[in-house]
Amino acid sequence: MRTAPNIIITGTPGVGKTIHSEQVAQDTGLQHLSINDIAKQRDCYDGYDEERQSWIIDEDKLLDAIEDDVTKGGYIIDWHACDLFPKSWIDLVVVLRCPSTAVYYDRLSSRGYPESKVDENMDAEIFGLLLEEAKEAYDEEIVIELTSENSDEIESNCARISAWVEAWKKSHSEEATDA
């Protein structure tokens, strides 16, 4: 039985996944697992997409690379997709959103993305594609949507997620002592 939960923090590029993941990891002792870093470190690529200027992840290789660790619990998975992770691994899915198109556009543009990549991500954010993906892949009661447009929201979101982690740990330690 796991003694710590696994959380996915997901959303389109530029919504604040990494800053949230790092802060919650610092606050809770969970380990931040950046899927981009893992894919680089463990060569989980299946090619390069020239048009999007990004690596294509070999999802099977990626899951094999992290399975032994993640199934033990205690991880915050930071990535722009969530539906590839088995339901049994995940206790909470946080979908970060940036509803202000002006704020979001500025974030993406500042990254130097090609206009086609900015447009694609803007569309995905406007239409809530990653929220829908999360709701289709996981039980709806473990999927939460949080707005991430400014530092106050980030701080509030991290406090909320950290409080959830502490409540999860407390309820699961009580279950273990009751068993």
Instruction: Give the three-state DSSP class for 106.
Output: helix
144 is in an annotated binding site: no
**Cα 79 from chain centre:** 4
For residue 15, give the amino acid letter.
V
Does the annotation flag 17 for ligand binding? yes
**16 annotated as ligand-binding:** yes
Q: What is the DSSP string of 77-96?
A: EE-S--TTS-GGG-SEEEEE
User: Inter-axis angle of helices 151-178 and 17-28, to 10 degrees?
Assistant: 40
The answer to whether 111 is a known ligand-binding residue is yes
Annotated binding site: 14, 16-19, 111
- Annotated binding residues for ATP, written as ranges, equal 14, 16-19, 111
